[in-house]
Amino acid sequence: MLNLHKILFVSVFALMQSACSTASLAQGSVGLVEKQVFTTQNFTTFNGQQIAEVKIGWEAYGDLNAAKDNVILITHFFSGNSHAAGRYTQDELLPGYWDAIIGPGKAIDTDLYYVISSDTLVNQEPHNPMVTTTGPATVNPVTGVPYALDFPVVTIRDFVNVQKALLASLGIEKLHGVVGASMGSLQALDWATAYPEDVERVISVIGAGAVDPWSIATLQQWANPIIADPNWNDGNYYSGEAPSEGLRQALGMVTLQAMHPQIFNQVYATSSAREPAPLHDIRANFSVVNQLNAAAEARTAFADANHLLYLVRANQLFMAGFAEDLATGLSPVLAKTLFLPSGNDLLLQPYLAQEAFNTLQGLGKETYYEEIEGPWGHLNGVYMLEQKAAVIKEFLGTD
């Protein structure tokens, strides 16, 4: 259930999502959904280490057919979780983030498909009661205390492999499609390289085939405030004071860089370079800074600093196929692919998706590319994706 902290986090985003979802809900919704938990033992990571027990949350919409071949997997973005559609309770203020495109008769049609969405390893919000994840904040069964930095470095491939184990536990061997935004798009594309025979279609929304030096350095700016916070204590803060200030700064930067100036300036239009307090006191903040700080502060309630660092590293390490170059990494792909970047994305800029699209074309693969329009920048992939509903529906429905 969304509580006050979550409502504060989404703030103006909630208004946009609610507005986008109202029409969709009138056309039909997946309704109330149930969060479930998957557990697997002795999970081996991509870098060869082992996690004694892994737990992740998941939810599903629609019905699994007898052949178990109508499954679409939804893979979530950096600060998201598995709540992609519907509501947990009747009084939940907002539906899942892609409720506008998931449901009966919608782009991802739950009259046709069984749609599964899962939390990732090292999810940003391990303290969210509606998230189940395993990561640095999880108690190590060997020591009886949180793993902290003893937790293995994990990759996008590890997220995919946990999802693979979840699906196997349900008797699902093949996916009709994988659809994900941002970090979810990395997972979607890596599914097609790790398990090419098991994936028929991939939709990469606001994504990339590989991170480049610019993206690695940008992501590091999210990690640096946490590392610089004295309370971080090399990750060993679970028995003391958490690095809340560093975490707040990091979350504020995530929000800022995910938005385009066009929408940011509308949201914070009351702030001005002519505010009197900053003119007279170097310690005084502009109102936009205070507002951004307040929104980030609200998000710290469920977040964990080490988890954010691990998510940053998983994204920094990504190249589809985990090969030496993108062409080699993408060469196993058998799935049809559709890239839907945001035209004004300043975080994962469209050239990253274009590079993957061009590489797949050069390899003779079936691939398509269209850009999402809107004022939100990176967040167009969450709030404006309904404009591509017909494209998505057709792509999922064709052989």
CATH of the domain at 229: 3.40.50.1820
378 given a catalytic annotation: yes
CB 91 within 8 A of CB 48: no
Number of domains making up the chain: 1
182 given a catalytic annotation: yes
**DSSP letter for each residue of 193-219:** HHSGGGBSEEEEES--SB--HHHHHHH
Of the residues 76, 176, 260, 378, only one is catalytic, namely 378
Q: What gap in Å lies between CA 61 and CA 72, rounded to an integer?
A: 10
pLDDT of residue 9: 36
Per residue of the chain (399 residues), give pLDDT as tens.
233 233 333 444 443 443 344 334 435 799 999 999 999 999 999 999 999 999 999 999 999 999 999 999 999 999 999 999 999 999 999 999 999 999 999 999 999 999 999 999 999 999 999 999 999 999 999 999 999 999 999 999 999 999 999 999 999 999 999 999 999 999 999 999 999 999 999 999 999 999 999 999 999 999 999 999 999 999 999 999 999 999 999 999 999 999 999 999 999 988 989 999 999 999 999 999 999 999 999 999 999 999 999 999 999 999 999 999 999 999 999 999 999 999 999 999 999 999 999 999 999 999 999 999 999 999 999 999 999 999 999 999 988
pLDDT of residue 334: 98
pLDDT of residue 27: 55
pLDDT of residue 398: 86
Q: What gap in Å lies between CA 385 and CA 206, rounded to an integer?
A: 10
Q: Compute the Cα dihedral for 154, 157, 161, 166 and give only its sign.
A: positive
Residue 378 neighbours by CB under 8 Å, 6+ apart: 182, 206, 257, 258, 259, 260, 342, 345, 346, 347, 348
176 given a catalytic annotation: no
Q: Count CB atoms within 10 A of the CB of residue 306.
A: 26
Q: Count CB atoms within 10 A of the CB of residue 302.
A: 20
Give the alpha-carbon dihedral of 331, 332, 334, 336, to 10 degrees.
Answer: -50
Give the number of residues written for the chain: 399
Range of the domain at 297: 4-397
pLDDT of residue 298: 93
Of the residues 182, 185, 215, 342, only one is catalytic, namely 182
pLDDT of residue 28: 73
* Coil vs helix vs strand at 37: strand
- Of residues 18, 13, 4, the one with CA closest to residue 267: 13
pLDDT of residue 17: 42
**DSSP letter for each residue of 310-371:** HHHHHHHT-BGGG-SSHHHHHTT--SEEEEE-BTT-SSS-HHHHHHHHHHHHHTT--EEE--
